[in-house]
Structure 1
């Protein structure tokens, strides 16, 4: 994009919670970005949900809070349509002085996994479905937004309602225009089960680009909502009695000739498909923390609430944690339905794709696919960790997660989450939304 229309721009990298951390710079600094001109303390990517340093973090106390170097990612600069003044954002990631990737950067965690696929001559294509709520946050508690047409609060559920899509047409139209400007390939939009809840699907493309899309999309959705007098949130469970927000990931794997390694010409899929499914199931207990990273996340996992509660898989069955959608054989893929909407997209995709690759490398065999309602069936598979504390403990010691994530990232994430767990314990649960509304 042309920078002659901007006086300033932002640079930002993702911290462990997926929040943007960076700086505002004058336009004259743009040509210097590829030279490592932007520095930030390593510890900035390891702050808690409030932006506070982690107590006793080795990034602070053993290194003297040293700086890492930020370099632009290959995504390129994008406009920031939610701001009044013309501004641009340059996505960045962090490196050491000697050029090594900083292992505590979540984007490097995903790159680490994708390099293992590349070593086999494979690339991963991913498409992401993002759910979010539009809300009114002006009171002491969250409430449904006003219907822009009637001026009255939303009432009644509107799943797949064209009427509700039309009511919020001004917001959705500007959102799609902004997605196009930011090169975020937004496809279909639908009204979901919750009051003021929507889902937008992002087009399949290279897995790293898909993660970049999801990270930028979350910032865009929230920013554009404020321009329309509302708030938007990806909290896993903003309303106790309404549907939660999830992030569903569809992925397939292509060989060096562009062939889908999951395609056997029919609906069943290849042995590689089932091995990848077995890996995804095996990765759920240890990976719970990256799929459900916050206190509020665990309110989403309730039977019958449009979110998986156990480790199961099935063909064309949305009650299972892992679904193999129907459709043409050449598009055979896996849908991973576990992650909450409040995730860091880089860590979530690293956990999903790393687990799938472990299944392939270990030639794991999945159990038989289920039929019928998964909520009514017990499985022999160990499922998700039932609470935040146990998810942290399991992630810290799980051997499969140790294959996927660097030791520094595992240690940093566990320290961060334990500090947040202690901090949230001092806040009444009914006020947790004030912490999470626009930070996740």
Structure 2
């Protein structure tokens, strides 16, 4: 589970010139944080661990400690031990100087894995499947937008100027290879970096949004590793963009008039013999597939704060943009929340299209798998599969505002059993404090609308 000092020494021998190691971890918001260590200090990390404030796992999206439920300030902000995780030590391909990076895991006071670390939250859900002799096979599709380093005259993001085309794109070109070619240098560097890091990228294409792209990752029979891939891919996409004098954003809805960015998860389940339990040889799939679908749809309202964690996240849910606005499922239908893609029966799986690109991959996947497991336990049946356009009318039972989603999470019954009751409370408290801080600011639109509304 943890890397040892010998792993570091071998890495340094294979990568001469490395003089620093970044010890990184994804926080509650899915932001990669950490410390840059000298090689000597990194040896201490690999030999026995280092001390880091436990509150680092509970920071807001702005990096502030909100003191949720008295954790981080009221408790004196105690340290905890972190240790390097096995098989996560890499050479950083986007660094101008030779540098390494290793993911660290947080320990609790007893020396076990911290229940406040998102990676461990997901591991706990996966363990419930293992108890039933099942293994989730998971793949992620991640969308993002390239934006100019400079904002427009109104302080809003704008499309970058293509070094190839010598201009900004005025429209979106879905699946346009010329659109990809206009950012050929960037795409090439991202592809090379992913290859060096052994990230299982299978495809990249232009999407609906403004200079929006999607990268597909190959499925793996390890849900935690799949989320690891998503986190590392985010680092690659954003850091390579900086090298090309741009920014890459996973903001769910950076532009008002174009489609937002999603994080789609493809999941199937293998039994101990390696058989896909969603496959019964038919086009409809097995009863277990329907039970899993029923569970996900039932738990979806409880999980919206994980699938759409920010105020901006909910701007993505609009009619006509292939973003699900209701608890629906269907076959080969991109307008539903849970899509069963077409293909060979042995590849039968579900695609979950609700989470935004701004979600924490570990927590979004944990909430999704929790719903699937619950459905398999209860053997429920879903509603009838939808045909046609299902993303026209919002579902009154689905919270499509962050404040409503946090109320659902605070009242949740199922997810606390899977993700941990205390973790759900701390997460909801952090996001509520973050929302309160956001709403406390007086916006330019507020002044524009109300300053002289009495005249």
**TM-score between both structures, scaled by the size of structure 1:** 0.94
Q: Secondary structure at the match of 1:10?
A: strand
Q: Which residue of 2 aligns with 1:231?
A: 247
The counterpart of 2:408, out of the listed 386, 389, 394, is 394
Task: Show CA shifts across 1:65-95 (max 9, x none).
Answer: 2222212223421222222111111012211
How far apart, CA to CA, are the structure 2 residues paired with 1:429 and 1:21?
A: 29
Alignment correspondent of 2:430:
416
Instruction: Call closer, same or farther: CA 1:378–1:223 in 2, change over 3 Å.
Output: closer
Residues 320 and 392 in structure 2, CA contact (< 8 A), matched pair in contact too: no
In the alignment, what sits opposite 2:451? Answer: none
Rounded Cα–Cα distance in structure 1 between residues aligned with 2:352 and 2:96: 37
Aligned to 2:218, the other structure's residue is in SS state strand
May I ask how many residue pairs the two structures share in their alignment? Answer: 429
Alignment partner of 1:247 out of 263, 276, 279: 263
1:321 aligned partner: 337
Partner of 1:11: 23
Matches within 5 A, 1:420-439: 420-427=434-441
1:300 equivalent in alignment to 2:312: no
Greater radius of gyration (CA): 2
Q: Using structure 2 for the length normalisation, give the TM-score.
A: 0.91
Distance 1:174 1:255 in 2: 38
SS at 2:391 equivalent: helix
User: Counterpart of 2:160?
Assistant: 145
- The one-character-per-residue Cα deviations of 1:144-170 (angstroms, maximum 9, x if unpaired) are 111221211111221000110111111
* Unmatched segments (≥5 aa) in structure 2: 1-9, 446-455
Query: Aligned in 2, Cα 1:80/1:193: closer, same or farther, shift over 3 Å?
Result: same
For the structure 1 residues 372 and 413, does the alpha-carbon distance in structure 2 shift closer, same or farther, using more than 3 Å as the test?
A: same
After alignment, is 177-186 or 109-118 more displaced?
Answer: 177-186
Q: How does 1:15-414 map to 2 (within 5 A)?
A: 15-55=27-67, 57-61=69-73, 63-139=75-151, 140-205=155-220, 206-376=222-392, 383-414=397-428
Q: Aligned partners of 1:126 and 1:430: how far apart in 2?
A: 43
Q: Contact 1:135 / 1:230 at 8 angstroms: preserved in 2?
A: yes
Deviation string for 1:233-283 (max 9, x for gaps)? 010000011110001000111111111111101211111100000011011
**For residues 284 and 68 of structure 2, what CA distance do their matches in structure 1 show?**
51
State whether residues 75 and 212 of structure 1, in contact with CA within 8 Å, keep that contact through their aligned partners in structure 2: no
User: 1:429, 1:354 → 2: CA distance?
Assistant: 38
Counterpart Cα distance in 2 of 1:310 and 1:290: 16
Distance 1:253 1:430 in 2: 49
Q: Which runs of 5+ in 1 are unaligned?
A: 432-440
Is the contact between residue 355 and residue 404 of structure 1 (CA under 8 Å) also seen in structure 2?
Answer: no
Deviation at 1:428, TM superposition (A): 5.9
* 8 Å CA contact 1:195, 1:242 repeated in 2: yes
